[in-house]
Structure 1
Amino acid sequence: MSSDPVAQGRSVAASAFGLLALCGFLFAGRIMISKAALSAGAQPFQLGVLGHLGAGLCLLPWLLASGRTIPAGRRHLILYGVLGLVSVAFPTVLSYLVVQRVGPAYTATVYSLSPLLTMAFAAGLGIERLSLRRLAGIGIGFLGMATLVRQQFLQIDTGQPLWVVFGLAIPASAAAGNIIRSAYWPKGASALAFSCGTLFASTLAIAAMAPVFEAPLGWRFSDPGIGFWTACLIGVSALSLVLNFRLQQVGGPVVFSQIGYWGTGFGVLLAAVLFGDVLTWLSLAGLCCIVAGGVLASHR
């Protein structure tokens, strides 16, 4: 391994950038698969429970085969529980409530604030230095994402301002989860072990909330369409979470938080390839901004 710190820094930045692109693609893929499963008749919390539980069960044999287990110390269990609530259960439930009252456009676009909030939290708590280059990267990425969803901004229903304000807790919760993972990552814990523990904790949190919003007894399991798309979601979720945690280890919370930008960009591309949506010059400009922002923000 090279002892040149500049070369090492470039290698880390390249690794973070590659992981960011791959995680963004998987993020978009999960959205496409979730939409297909919901259209087939699955319910939102059903997908949440089965997706996280199935992904955890897929990763567990891999973890055991590597000679490791899920760390189960008191600190680890608390961290899994906190992340399960803060990063998954709370924003999931709140997004379902907000989308019913304000609309899907606001719920989709509000996630774009997560990188900005993550950067502010990281700088305020002294976890990462707020460099001009990284600030420019996040800003350019935000501009690119806003360009891609410009039509959705026009569809936001502001008739219920209280729920508009509540919706801001969604990106705040995601940003808090990013910070918690970086600040309290258990020493020596692998991304695989950490992924399994968080997936199982998330499953319990979402399952506990499911009866309040859905009727679990009415969940359908025998429908072939639901089974197929749920299996796809489980596989993509398992791979996605492991790579997400690895990205957080390599790139830190600010780079990690840009997954939403890249997911939006890949979502536009997948919609064009799979559903024939038209890519305009403005859309291409937005995609270029997201890539440029990722390159700038990946440098520490």
Structure 2
Amino acid sequence: MTALIQRLPPPPLGVVWGLLLINGLLIALMLALSKVATAQGMPATTYAFWQTLIAGLILLVRAVPIRAMVEKRLMVYFFISGLTGIAIPNVTAFYLVAKLGTGFTGIMYALPPIFTFLMATSMGLEQRNWRRLSGLSIAVLACGWIILQRHANMGQSEPLWYALGLLIPSMLSVGNIYRAVAWPSRATPMTLAAGTLLASAAALALFAQLTGTPLIARDASPNLLTILAVQGVLTALAYLCAFEIQKRATPVFFSQLGAVAAVFGLIIGVAWFKEQYSLTIWLGVLLVILGLRMSNRQRAVDQCP
């Protein structure tokens, strides 16, 4: 693992919170579009492949010259970042969602703040702070409550599948830590986002080949292709924001992205899909906000040592 990046001076709190909120909104929009696309028959793996490939190519246009991106140190970073942050969690989720349902899978995506905090404190990247741990726990439990309320009929299956589900938050947390501490010197967020997305697309293409999933949908409608193009643009913006956050803040701060995206997901559900939620779900939203507020009350965006 390379040396810690020489980071910028801590930016104003509003900057990183603004990036986190924008990133959460973009992810919620991406999930809404994927719901529309997969409902029209496109396999999830195919959709994820084109989503990451288009986004990576968009960012590649503004990244460093391709010759510079094939350096060994960057290729290793792209590979590990793409596998831990995108490919492995997504492939695991695609596999488990049919066995365990969307409710359990969604809960796994809400757990990274706790996993990341525990990893960061054990490595000395974060100070042990019970207030922060309590706030993160409240936000994560509230996210789990929201998901359970929306998906009450979670499937019954073998305990092994539930244990496998822990691979999702584990890999996401490893990715959060790795991207922060192994940040290549003089590399820009644009370059790292582009390389990570393209590495993930390559891994998803390999997974599709192994599982016999077609990467080209011959009966794709113009509307579906439009959705895919928009998704590519949103994904490019989302990952650019994500790497900008990781350049400025700690891995634990970044890991709260899932909770922010969950709140925006509910808002989009009401505004776009005309969904209706019970009072208990909105109480869960309030607890998420209070938990995030509590966890960031002190040293919200302190940099890694």
2:83 maps to 85
TM-score scaled by length of structure 1:
0.89
Tell me the residue number matched to 2:96.
98
Residue 176 of structure 1, CA deviation: 0.7
Aligned to 1:240: 238
Q: CA deviation at 1:107?
A: 0.9
- Give distance in 1, aligned partners of 2:295 and 2:177: 16
Task: Describe the shift of the 1:165–1:152 C-alpha distance in structure 2 as closer, same or farther (beyond 3 A).
Answer: farther
| CA 293–163 in structure 1, closer or farther in 2 if over 3 Å, else same | same
* Counterpart code for 1:216: P
- The aligned residue for residue 158 of structure 2 is 160
SS at match of 2:140: helix
Provide the C-alpha distance between the structure 2 equivalents of 1:265 and 1:107, rounded to a whole number of angstroms.
17
The separation in 2 between residues aligned to 1:16 and 1:57, in whole angstroms, is: 26
Question: Which residue of 139, 142, 149 maps to 1:141?
Answer: 139
Corresponding position of 1:23: 23
Q: Is this contact kept in 2: 1:109–1:152, CA < 8 A?
A: no
For 1:185-196, list aligned pairs within 5 A: 185-196=183-194
> 137-146 vs 74-83, which deviates more?
137-146
214-223 or 125-134: bigger deviation: 214-223
**Cα distance between partner residues in 1 of 2:198 and 2:39:** 26
**Is 2:103–2:148's contact at 8 Å kept on the other side of the alignment?**
no
User: Which residue in the other structure is 2:201 paired with?
Assistant: 203
Q: State the secondary structure of the residue aligned to 1:284.
A: helix
Q: CA contact under 8 A between 1:95 and 1:107: conserved in structure 2?
A: yes
Partner of 2:42: 42
Deviation at 1:22, TM superposition (A): 1.3
Residues 153 and 115 from structure 1, CA distance in 2 versus in 1: closer, same or farther, beyond 3 angstroms?
farther
Does the alignment pair 1:169 with 2:178? no
Per-residue CA deviation, residues 121-163 of structure 1 (Å, 9 max, x unaligned), is 1111112223233223312312331332232564222322111
**How many residues matched?**
290
Contact 2:107 2:147 in 1 (8 A): yes
C-alpha displacement of 1:198: 0.7
What is aligned with 2:119?
A: 121
Give the deviation of 1:242 after TM superposition: 0.2
Output one character per residue of 1:69-127: Cα deviation in whole Å (capped at 9) or x when no partner: 75432111111111222221111111111112122211111211111101101111112
Q: Is the 8 A contact 1:24 1:263 kept in 2?
A: yes
Determine if the alignment matches structure 1 residue 249 to structure 2 residue 247: yes
Identity of aligned residues (%): 28
Is the CA contact (8 Å cut-off) linking 2:176 and 2:254 kept in structure 1?
Answer: yes
Report the counterpart of residue 59 of structure 2 in structure 1.
59
Aligned twin of 2:4: none
Give 2:112's aligned amino acid: S
- Secondary structure of 2:124's counterpart equals coil
Q: Once structures 1 and 2 are overlaid, which stretch shifts more, 111-120 or 142-151?
A: 142-151
CA distance in 1, matches of 2:41, 2:82: 26
Most deviating of 131-140 and 110-119: 131-140
Contact 1:15 1:250 in 2 (8 A): no
Q: Give the CA deviation at 1:218.
A: 5.7
1:147-202 superposed Cα distances (whole Å, 9 cap, x missing partner): 32232564222322111111111111111111110110111211111101111111
Q: Distance in 2 between matches of 1:251 and 1:82?
A: 20
**Aligned CA distance change for structure 1 residues 257 and 222 (closer, same or farther; 3 Å):** same
RMSD: 2.1
Q: Using structure 2 for the length normalisation, give the TM-score.
A: 0.88
| Distance of 2:246 and 2:185 partners within structure 1 | 14
Secondary structure in structure 2 of the residue aligned to 1:33: helix
C-alpha contact (below 8 Å) 1:221/1:227 kept by paired residues:
no
Which residue matches 2:6?
none
Asked if 2 retains the 8 angstrom alpha-carbon contact of 1:42 and 1:220, the reply is no
Residues 48/150 of structure 1: CA separation in 2 closer, same or farther (3 Å cut): closer
